[in-house]
């Protein structure tokens, strides 16, 4: 199942080589021997959170990351986001070393952290306000993204008037506002009930198809990882390292019915083998 990488057409940039049309993919993220050791009070030598991680991610790919709690998934994502400094190695986005947060990278966390006294729209344009950007333009763009995530009509609602799923969509709009080429999502639907979560999974696939950005999606759920991704990276317990890299070739567009197919079951079964003893939570 992992052997022959097959990539969907949206990931392929076609280049003409002589008279032959050759498909080649564009690398978006390169991670070379990236490690993380946290300085902590309890461990004078430092706490090794991540063993050296090396991987390449092609532009437009949807990559899920699964691994047990505390294995360093969030650390890895924050390193790619430029929010946590790396202790060794190198991370590049579009050929440039990541040293700080970038404008072309959007981040969505488990909790959207919305200001309760501001409307959904005002929450979304807050970063634009801080960055002293043109607010009329930001509002205009935000309205388009409210539409894209199925929230049009709720721009002037306050967070308390929105369900958990709707609040998370507001967080997604905020991340999309800069038209990111890379969307980093850290267990974004972890706090939602099962039905809202499934609905959000399908919504996310629709948004991804519409924006064609690269997505790095962290989850505790193996079925969620498989349903969404082109590729599932499996991390070991702390200190985390990538122990498997599975290409998911289920046809797209994906649907919830696929969860009941034998092929889907083969992916989830094989991924679960990594967590037989410890479980995922």
Q: Locate tokens 């506002």: which residue?
A: 177
Contact map string, positions 67 to 86, toward Mg ion, x by CB under 5 A: -------x------------
Q: Say which entry of ligand ADP, Mg ion, none residue 169 contacts (CB below 5 to 8 A, set by partner kind).
A: none
Q: Say which entry of Mg ion, ligand ADP, none residue 82 contacts (CB below 5 to 8 A, set by partner kind).
A: none
Binding of residue 274 to ligand ADP (CB under 6 A): no
Binding of residue 275 to ligand ADP (CB under 6 A): no
Binding of residue 188 to ligand ADP (CB under 6 A): no
Among residues 35, 58, 60, 72, the one that binds ligand ADP under rule CB under 6 A: 72
Binding of residue 69 to ligand ADP (CB under 6 A): yes
Sign of the CA dihedral 99, 101, 106, 107? positive
Binding of residue 221 to Mg ion (CB under 5 A): no
- To Mg ion, the closest distance from the beta carbon of 146 in angstroms equals 28
Binding of residue 46 to ligand ADP (CB under 6 A): no
Give the Cα-Cα-Cα angle 253, 167, 201 (nearest 5 degrees).
15
Segment contacting ligand ADP by CB under 6 A, of 68-76, 112-120, 128-136, 271-279: 68-76
Among residues 2, 5, 8, 70, the one that binds ligand ADP under rule CB under 6 A: 70
Nearest alpha carbon to residue 232 among 272, 277, 204: 272
Q: 162-169 long-range contacts, Cβ below 8 Å, gap at least 24?
A: 162/120, 163/196, 164/191, 164/192, 164/193, 164/196, 165/189, 165/192, 165/196, 165/199, 165/200, 167/112, 167/114, 168/108, 168/112, 168/192, 168/200, 169/200, 169/203
């Amino acid at each position: 199942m992992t052997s022959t990488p097959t990539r969907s057409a949206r990931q392929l940039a076609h280049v003409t080589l002589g008279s032959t049309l050759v498909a080649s993919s564009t690398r978006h993220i390169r991670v070379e021997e990236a490690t993380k050791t946290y300085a902590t009070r309890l461990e004078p030598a430092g706490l090794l959170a991540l063993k050296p991680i090396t991987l390449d991610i092609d532009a437009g790919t949807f990559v899920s990351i699964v691994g047990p709690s505390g294995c360093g998934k969030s650390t890895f994502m924050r390193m790619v986001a430029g929010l946590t400094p790396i202790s060794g190695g190198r991370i590049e986005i579009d050929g440039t070393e990541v040293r700080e947060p970038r404008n072309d990278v959007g981040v969505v966390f488990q909790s959207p952290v919305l200001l309760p006294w501001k409307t959904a729209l005002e929450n979304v344009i807050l970063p634009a306000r801080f960055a002293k950007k043109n607010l009329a333009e930001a509002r205009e763009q935000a309205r388009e993204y409210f539409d894209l995530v199925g929230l049009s009509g709720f721009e002037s609602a306050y967070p308390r008037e929105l369900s958990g799923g709707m609040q998370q969509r507001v967080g997604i709009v905020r991340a999309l506002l800069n038209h990111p080429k890379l969307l980093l999502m850290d267990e974004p639907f972890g706090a939602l009930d099962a039905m809202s979560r499934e609905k959000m999974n399908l919504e996310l696939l629709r948004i991804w198809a519409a924006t064609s950005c690269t997505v790095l999606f962290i989850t505790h759920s193996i079925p969620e990882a498989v349903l969404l991704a082109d590729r599932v990276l499996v991390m070991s317990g702390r200190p985390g390292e990538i122990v498997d890299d599975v290409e998911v070739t289920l046809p797209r567009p994906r649907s919830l019915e696929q969860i009941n197919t034998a092929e889907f079951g083969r992916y989830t079964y094989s991924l679960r083998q990594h967590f037989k003893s410890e479980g995922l939570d």
